[in-house]
Amino acid sequence: GPRLTGTEKLTQANRWTMEMFRKYGLSNVHLESWTIARAWSRGTARGRIVSPATHSLTVASAGWSPSTPGVVRGPVVYVSARRVEELAPYKGKLKGAIVITAEPQKLPEPYEVPRPPVLNPYGPPPEAILFGPAALRFARERDAFLKAEGVQAVLRDSDKAHGLLNMSSIGGRMYDVGLLPTAYLTAEGYRLIWRLMKRGPVEVELELSNSFSETPVEVHNTVAEIPGSEKPDEVVILGAHLDSWDLGTGATDNGTGSMVLLEAARALQKLGLKPKRTIRFILFSGEEQGLNGSRAYAEAHKTELAKISGVLVHDTGTGRVLTIALQGNYQDREVMDRIVAPLRQLGLLELSLRSTRGTDHASFNDAGVPGFYCMQDPAEYRKTHHSQSDTFDKVSKDDLVQGAQVLAAWAYNVAQLPELLPRKPAAERPARED
């Protein structure tokens, strides 16, 4: 089922994966704990347009959204601002409003191939625009302004066709309660409101009910190893995230990556291989709220980072691995070409120069460890990702077997290198910002 960070279901999944690693015969199997400020539980959500005509809306609370004080009703106001100074014209004009902060994005036409969420080579990836440090900082400043002005709630566009919802968090990396009740609308509902606003005032009614833990909550990463035979203190890491959002069951985001990791571990152990370096398998939690589990791991192990050769993460659903993205680690291009050469028979393409910050490899790149990402066939990932469509029936077994082969072979080949993978010069590493 869904494995939201801070819930008992994620803890059960941690325990189950630990049991499976032990069953497969891996070593040093354990849970590593870290703490979140508050756990969040989804309650009920309902909404409707009440003027200029009555129309039901399909809505879901954003992660870590507070509740509304019962049913709230107010005019919808579009706050068009991308910088703090652009908020000034709205001062004194938002009391009692229900706010939207973005125009609807263009959805694919009926006969248009949907745009891939990860493999688009043109421009920055969507998550860099939505979740980059500067954007996150502005969002906090904007929400503080909206709350001070008396805004009742915020509505977000799910940006998925055919009634699918989307999900993300508003509480930030520290799992704080969001400043304002916030709900996702289906693309159809959001676009209806937008069209009506072009003709005149629109009034919406909304009720959100959610709950929070009273105290901080301990959460975990699951860790297991195949110890190195010659250099056991030097490590190669394979990673995926075990947590999920909760509208579906977290099958393709990222149950698939988690199972690929388990299968790679099982296969390497069963083959009886003795890698020169330790191969470590980590199932991170808290990825969906800002790569928190991998950031916590990198911080807890900062004295050991110099001996981590590299990290490869699988986190784009059920599709087969097409290639490995270097994530700005151009210093590794030549050696990575040799590492993946045997994987051409699995259908891997030329290494990609693509960079994205959307998953746990980024926490290691930020800390100076070469972090790489599996670029996969989209396989409807844009539909299932964070939506109620993220369920087990969307999983392709053959593609996951191929993914496990890629991870296992990559990890073993890196473990056998004469030296650790080259590091990016310190001057080229991204600045850490929260």
Q: Tell me the mean pLDDT in the region 160-176.
A: 84
Q: Which two tokens stand for residue 382?
A: 């844009």
Going by pLDDT thresholds of 50, 70 and 90, the confidence category of residue 128 is very low
- Please report the DSSP string for 363-377 in residue order: HHHHTTS-EEEEEE-
Q: Tell me the mean pLDDT in the region 263-281.
A: 97
Q: What is the pLDDT of residue 117?
A: 45
In whole angstroms, what is the distance from residue 95 CA to residue 120 CA?
Answer: 40
Tell me if 222 sits within 8 A of 283, measured CB to CB.
Answer: yes
Q: Tell me the mean pLDDT in the region 370-398.
A: 95
pLDDT tens by residue, 8-49? 999 999 999 999 999 999 999 999 999 999 999 999 999 999
Given a cut of 90, whether residue 313 has pLDDT beyond it is yes
Going by pLDDT thresholds of 50, 70 and 90, the confidence category of residue 120 is very low
Q: What is the pLDDT of residue 253?
A: 96
Tell me if 158 sits within 8 A of 164, measured CB to CB.
Answer: yes
CA distances, 211 to each of 44, 65, 172, 220, 239 (Å): 10, 9, 17, 21, 31
Length of the chain in terms of residues written: 434
Tell me if 358 sits within 8 A of 422, measured CB to CB.
Answer: no
Q: Tell me the mean pLDDT in the region 63-71.
A: 97
Q: Which two tokens stand for residue 104?
A: 């609807």
Q: What is the pLDDT of residue 308?
A: 98
Q: What is the pLDDT of residue 125?
A: 37
In whole angstroms, what is the distance from residue 279 CA to residue 226 CA?
Answer: 5
pTM (two decimals): 0.92
Given a cut of 90, whether residue 200 has pLDDT beyond it is yes
In whole angstroms, what is the distance from residue 224 CA to residue 25 CA?
Answer: 10
Given a cut of 80, whether residue 148 has pLDDT beyond it is yes
Question: Which tops the pLDDT comparison, 16 or 425?
Answer: 16
Question: Which tops the pLDDT comparison, 405 or 115?
Answer: 405
CA distances, 395 to each of 167, 168, 259, 318 (Å): 20, 22, 11, 5
In whole angstroms, what is the distance from residue 265 CA to residue 224 CA?
Answer: 9
Q: What is the pLDDT of residue 139?
A: 87
Percent of the chain scoring above 70 in pLDDT: 92
Q: What is the pLDDT of residue 109?
A: 75
